[in-house]
Chains A and B, each alone.
Chain A
Amino acid sequence: MTQFLLRRLIQSVILLVIVSFIGFMILNLAPGGPLAAYALNPNMTQADRVRLAHQMGLDDPLPVQYWRWASSLARGDWGRSFRDSQPVLTIIRDRIPATLQLMVTSTVLAIILGSLIGLLGALKRYSFFDYLATIGAMIALSIPTFWFGLMMIFLFSVQLGWLPSGSMTTIGGSGSLTDRLHHLIAPTLVLSLVTVAIWSRYSRSALLDVVGQDYMRTARAKGLREWVVLRRHGFRNAILPLITLGGLQLPTLFGGALVTETVFTWPGMGRLFVDSLGYRDYPVLLGIMMVTAFLVILGNLLADLLYAVVDPRIRLN
């Protein structure tokens, strides 16, 4: 177990290094590089820019620059926004809760709804419901998230007037819990579209893999009732691959959150990213990319650890 832990930890650190390397490349790939913010400033001459580049160490060899950049990242100094000179880390930290809120609620919904659909599909394989769920999941995965969001707004906000069309609370309102929940419904549903679809497919196939196993037959042969067989032997084993799926879904979830936040003017990290794109605010853009990549790697690591805790076969090796 310790060995497994250690190996996964080292793998994650290596991955993080490569990720930071890619981030650094993107920063240098940007037209004008890190000095892009000053490129259009009419009060600066070319000589000023060269001096600034020298001051910032941009004429050092790239490996030296990378080392300096990466070590300041590790110290928590992520630079300042081009737009308002706020520290990047502070800006991002303010936006993370809104994004996490959206991601957590829709993941919970996806797990409940998706597992239920997958379970019913697996128990009644090739039934009408199973076909419907299969086709439904494929269509759900094919609908552009932003358009689904637009249609939700069109139907529930414009036509029916049931739900607010955006933001986290009513502007000028009290920001009460019911108001917040009211604003949460539509974005959560939109973000859940894809996750419910994926989750239902995976839980169906995970359960189907388990149903045919010998130990299930044995359990039935012992005379256990079907429900007990499923609960004690079926679900417990089917849950294992789903833990990994939870980790693997994170990039999709972050991507979906970006689109959902943009459509619903939700003040999260994704919308900050899109806003920063408009300003060519590279420090913030890169910061968000590093944060998401870091969270994805962390999530996968946690999923693997959880797997090891739940599955005794890994624990013993």
Chain B
Amino acid sequence: MVLRRLMEHRLAVFGLAMIVFLGLASAIGPMLTPFDPLFIDFRAKFAPPLTGQHILGGDELGRDLLTRLLVGGRVSLIVGLAAMTLSVTIGAIAGALAGYYGGWIDVLIMRFVDAVLSFPTIFLLLALAAFIKPNLFTITIIIGATAWMEVARIVRGQILSLREQEFVLAARSIGASNSHIIARQLLPNAVAPIVVAATLNIANAILLESYISFLGYGIQPPTASWGNMLNNAQSYFNTAPWVAIFPGVLITLAVTSFNFVGDGLRDALDPRLGKR
């Protein structure tokens, strides 16, 4: 039902197809190209696209651009997915606790959420990134740690409206514990908005990773990520503009696709929009 409605959403279908394509390409692609993403070959320095076997040309060290884009895609997509998992987990727990228990727990959690949201995310992220040793794992952690607040708000709102309903009372009357009610009764009923938020969260996480990697505090070279491939892009404009163009196009494509799917899911999961 939901799937059928999602398939009617043309942009979401495009997004989904693009995500599958990008995911498969970066998972399998690097094994199919004849190049190592770290192999330096000065003869191929700034080689234009379609030079020999370099389909998209070479970068500033003559590394194969296509191979690096594919490997970088792995990094960006993995960071996006993992950071989303983390932020949705934190957000769902925080929001559920705040919404279910109310009172001072609610005040404490939600005021903390408000306070963290007062800091622009990029500032917070960069400040944290400066303290840590940047690698795939730590970058994922800090992106997840700075992106859970919206989810917490959404989940809290859902729980608030659900907790007074009869099925919760029924569960409580047969002696179900609070944790059982939250995990088994309330959260499953709030899954639709969580799924939407999660999808949009992936898009956001990919974008954030590219920002901090571009600024030099994310994934560190020589490991490729779409963001750090643009580190010195400005100095290639005269010699090799494609080195600066392709990574950005891929980031935009990936983020747009997740946003399209999130938007489609929102429409598909919203029962009020059912009969149009």
Contacts and interface: CB of A to CB of B under 8 A. Distances in A.
B127 A289 contact: yes
Nearest to B203: A142
A251 B120 contact: yes
Nearest to B256: A142
A18 B111 contact: yes
Nearest to B217: A277
Contacts of B227: 144
A252 B256 CA distance: 18
Given A18-B112, A251-B117, A289-B124, A259 B211 contact: yes
B122 interface: yes
A263 B211 CA distance: 11
B11 interface: yes
Interface string A27-50: 001110000000000000000000
A293 B248 contact: no
A199 interface: no
Interface stretch (B61-69, B159-167, B187-195, B230-238): B230-238
B11 A251 contact: no
A163 interface: no
B38 interface: no
Contacts of B234: 150, 153, 263
B215 A158 contact: no
B114 A147 contact: no
Contact of A258 (B115, B120, B252): B120
A169 interface: no
Interface stretch (A112-120, A133-141, A223-231): A133-141
A150 B211 CA distance: 13
B154 interface: no
A254 B259 CA distance: 22
A141 B123 contact: no
A251 B119 contact: yes
Contacts of B131: 29-31
Contact of B118 (A158, A251, A286): A251
Contacts of B111: 14-15, 18
A52 interface: no
B245 interface: yes
A274 interface: yes
Contacts of A29: 131
Given A138-B256, A146-B211, A292-B119, A158 B248 contact: no
Interface string A248-285: 00011011001100110000000001100100100001
A141 B238 CA distance: 28
How extensive is the interface on chain B, given as a class? 35 or more
Nearest to A158: B237
B71 to A, nearest CB: 19
B123 A255 contact: yes
A158 B236 CA distance: 11
Interface in B193-241: 203, 207, 210-211, 214-215, 217, 227, 230, 233-234, 237-238, 241
Given A14-B111, A289-B127, A147 B116 contact: no
Contact of A285 (B116, B130, B259): B130
A9 to B, nearest CB: 15
A142 B255 contact: yes
A255 B130 contact: no
Interface in B123-147: 123-124, 126-128, 130-131
Contacts of A154: 237, 241, 244-245
B51 to A, nearest CB: 21
Contacts of B241: 154
A262 B118 contact: no
A142 B259 contact: yes
B260 interface: yes
Interface in B227-276: 227, 230, 233-234, 237-238, 241, 244-245, 247-248, 251-252, 255-256, 259-260, 263
Q: Which 9 A-B pairs have the closest CB atoms?
A: A147-B248, A142-B255, A18-B115, A255-B120, A142-B256, A255-B122, A254-B120, A251-B120, A293-B118
Interface of A: 14-15, 18-19, 21-22, 26, 29-31, 135, 138-139, 141-148, 150-151, 153-154, 158, 251-252, 254-255, 258-259, 262-263, 273-274, 277, 280, 285-286, 288-289, 292-293, 296-297
Interface of B: 11, 111-112, 114-124, 126-128, 130-131, 203, 207, 210-211, 214-215, 217, 227, 230, 233-234, 237-238, 241, 244-245, 247-248, 251-252, 255-256, 259-260, 263
22 contacts: A15-B115, A18-B115, A19-B115, A22-B116, A22-B119, A31-B131, A139-B256, A141-B259, A143-B255, A144-B251, A146-B214, A146-B215, A147-B230, A154-B237, A158-B237, A251-B117, A251-B119, A255-B121, A277-B126, A285-B127, A286-B127, A292-B123
